[in-house]
Amino acid sequence: MWIDRIVEIVPRQRLVSVKHITLSEEHTHEHFAATESRPSIAVMPACLIVEGVAQSGGILIGHASGFREKLVLAKITRVDLECEATPGDTLRYTITVEQIGSQGASTKGLVERVEAWSGKVETIGHVDLMFSNLDQNMAGLEFPEGNFVFGDAFRTLLKNSGVEIPPA
């Protein structure tokens, strides 16, 4: 999981989630290895920031159908990340629905960094995504009955964030 908590959800419109970056996360250790001229630098890799936005968007879109659909990330249409996030920072992802339908959806994501030492909030990027409903794929492929996309980890995150799963 690349998000820690959902702090707001407006069904079919908007979701806000947060990710607290800590040194206890192995991926931050020496992300940029030390050289002769500088020490190692611990950062949250940009690909994991994009994944946090994708998980947030997937939850927002999945919530609209009561998590019955098997949604997958289909396309990254935009990624602009202007600076790194480091241990001690909190990332805030604000996801809004651009379009939603039976075959999938598109979202716009705003990435903000909340600095631990100052509380300063700054926009550090935008990530726009498209999701596809696997059961409505144009190739006619069939997938297992159970929803393998929204598993126990997602349900635990939803429960711990106070988000109810809509009735089927």
Domains contained in the chain, CATH given: 5-141 (3.10.129.10)
> Which residues participate in catalysis according to the annotation?
31
Q: Average pLDDT over the chain, rounded to whole?
A: 89
Cα dihedral sign for 119, 26, 46, 1?
negative
Cα angle at 24 between 23 and 25, to 5 degrees?
A: 90
Query: What is the pLDDT at residue 68?
Result: 86
pLDDT tens digits, residue range 102-131? 899 999 999 999 987 788 999 999 999 999
Query: What is the pLDDT at residue 114?
Result: 92
Which residues, listed in sequence order, are joined to residue 96 by a DSSP beta bridge?
A: 14, 108
DSSP, res 115: -
The mean pLDDT of 135-139, rounded to a whole number, is 73
The mean pLDDT of 2-28, rounded to a whole number, is 93
The mean pLDDT of 34-59, rounded to a whole number, is 90
C-alpha 151/C-alpha 10 separation (Å) is 22
Which residue, chain included where needed, has tokens 């289909």? 74
Q: Which residue type is seen at 72?
A: V
Q: 107 and 17 in contact (C-beta within 8 Å)? A: no
CB burial class (10 A; 0-12, 13-18, 19+) of residue 73? middle
Q: Which of 125, 123, 69 is nearest to 101 (CA)?
A: 69
Residue 30 pLDDT level (bands cut at 50, 70, 90): low
Query: What is the pLDDT at residue 82?
Result: 95
pTM for the model:
0.90
Higher pLDDT, residue 110 or 165: 110
Q: Is the confidence at residue 168, as pLDDT, over 60?
A: no
